[in-house]
Amino acid sequence: HTAVVWFRRDFRLHDHTALVHALHWAKERQGKLLFFFHFDPYFSNERTYHHEYFFQTVEQFRQTLRQQYGIHVHILHGDVDDVFVRLIRCTRMNAIFFNKDEVGHGKERDDYVQALLQKHGVEVYTYDDAHMHGAFDVLKADGTPYKVYTPYYRAWRKRPKRFPLSIDMDLLSAHMLHITPLSEDDERAFTRWLSQCTKRWERTSEQDALITLQHFIESALPNYDKKRDIPSVAGTSRLSPHLKTGTISIRTVFHAVVQQFGNGYDEAVETYIKELAWRDFYHMIYAHFPFTKTEAFIEKYRHLPWSRDDERFQAWKEGKTGFPIVDAGMRQLKEEGWMHNRVRMIVASFLTKDYLIDWRMGEQYFQHMLIDYDEASNIGGWQWAASVGTDAVPYFRVFNPIEQSKKFDPDGTYIRTYVHELAFFPSPHIHEPWKSNFNINYPAPTVDHRLQRQRAIALFQMKE
């Protein structure tokens, strides 16, 4: 008996739902397991930060398994039909285990692969793993999805939370099938792709993720409710890239945080848990309303006459809008493939309400640049900022980039870190450098915020 464990966005050994079940299956049948990764041209054909970070994580996982346990993660490269037919032929597998996707391209692929494998007589076992609660677990009493976060959260919070599962590594080693790589050529293609990466990302392993969590709990969690909005301090967990690639399990994060403060109420812990629930909420929304990748959730805002001004879009992407907090955020994104949540809200609001540019253009740019890119959270975040999504910021409450800057980066530390032209600029005017007489090589503001705010509101009022 042979079963394949298909790794997808779960590059870890702790609390890996499909792996735990696969091992149980192998133990009962005296069977063998083989680890597999599908190097899919759907992803490899496009070279984005997010794909490079992802594939580097895969390679890190393969190296760790090889070095620590002598386990090989086999790779096949090609389209779904070709790859899975080859996999069946090479392994003669009886069963496959994987953690399934409930949204987007991943869901389409899973449904297709499942049918294909079943046609070939392979038993298919799939699991919910990436979220605390799946997209169909927390619904209203009448079985329909929540559209507002707060009642969803109340129901979400009440549900029992499964504890992380552990794996017996000796038992796993005893059940591994050791064979030569299924295809040396395909594995070489993967290595070649990696060698052409534009950036080397660090701290991509499971161990790095667990250390990040521990460090967050000890240092920032106690003040999370007070510091999470200040981009110049390490006030958040920075676990999002790890949650994206699954080098850490969401249940491990949840229970580690909750246990830290016992059963009593703790504002910092509750605030953090609410963020984890936002992740599930947007995932649930996207699963039930898949059209939101390209259409506004709110029907009357589906055909707003957004601008597609390329010159302004370039200025935004390059961090040259003339608004320091916006430019700092966009430059952080370019340098680090990550941006602080408060600043994501500011730059998204700026693109849609100050430049009046289509939120979908911003969503796509983030898709390329974010190492933590998560389709559901990104769409949710963009539609929130553009006031076209479920439970979004009302269109008349337009963020003022200068006020936001003064409030959340009062002394300009964050701005100075990323906008090098302003590195030595004195504090009082750093949020509005055009008000000083210093001669600096920094762009003048590209728009008048007051005017653009009125235009943005008028855009929405046309549809009221």
Which segments are annotated as binding site for FAD? Answer: 224, 236-240, 272, 275-282, 372-374
Annotated binding site: 224, 236-240, 272, 275-282, 372-374
Q: Should residue 276 be labelled a site residue for ligand FAD when binding is judged by CB under 6 A?
A: yes
Residue 271: CB partners within 8 Å, gap ≥ 6?
224, 225, 228
CA 330 to chain centre: 17
Nearest Cα to 247, choosing from 200, 279, 204, 194? 204
For ligand FAD, which residue of 99, 205, 236, 247 counts as binding (CB under 6 A)? 236
Give whichever of 74 and 283 is closer to ligand FAD, judged by the CB atom: 283
Query: CA–CA separation, 228 vs 234, rounded Å?
Result: 8
377 binds ligand FAD (CB under 6 A): yes
Catalytic choice (59, 359, 363, 375):
359
CB of 391 to ligand FAD, least distance (A): 11
Question: Taking contact as CB under 6 A, which single stretch among the options 17-25, 64-72, 79-87, 238-246 is the one that binds ligand FAD?
Answer: 238-246
- Report residue 96: phi and psi, to 5°: -130, 140
Question: Tokens at residue 350, please?
Answer: 């700026």
Residue-wise over 379-407: b if at least 16 C-beta within 10 A, else e? Answer: bbbbbbbbbbbbbbbebeebbbbbebbbe
Active site residue 341: yes
Of the candidate spans 96-104, 165-173, 262-270, 337-345, the one that interacts with ligand FAD by CB under 6 A turns out to be 337-345
Q: Is 156 a catalytic residue?
A: no
Cβ-Cβ contacts under 8 Å for 113 (sequence gap 6 or more): 80, 84
51 binds ligand FAD (CB under 6 A): no
Q: 43 by DSSP, 3-state: which?
A: helix
Q: Of 270, 295, 336, 341, which residue is the catalytic one?
A: 341
Report 296-335 residues binding ligand FAD (CB under 6 A). Answer: none
- Tell me if residue 278 is catalytic: yes
Query: Which of the residues 6, 193, 201, 278 is marked catalytic?
Result: 278
The enclosing H or E element of 345 equals: helix 341-349
Q: Site residues for ligand FAD, window 338-357 (CB under 6 A)? A: 341, 344-345, 348
Distances (CA, A) of 244 to 57, 80, 173, 178, 371: 11, 22, 27, 29, 8
List interacting residues with ligand FAD (CB under 6 A). Answer: 228, 236-240, 243, 275-276, 278-279, 282, 341, 344-345, 348, 366, 370, 372-374, 377-378, 380-382, 385
Active-site annotation, residues? 275, 278, 306, 341, 359, 382
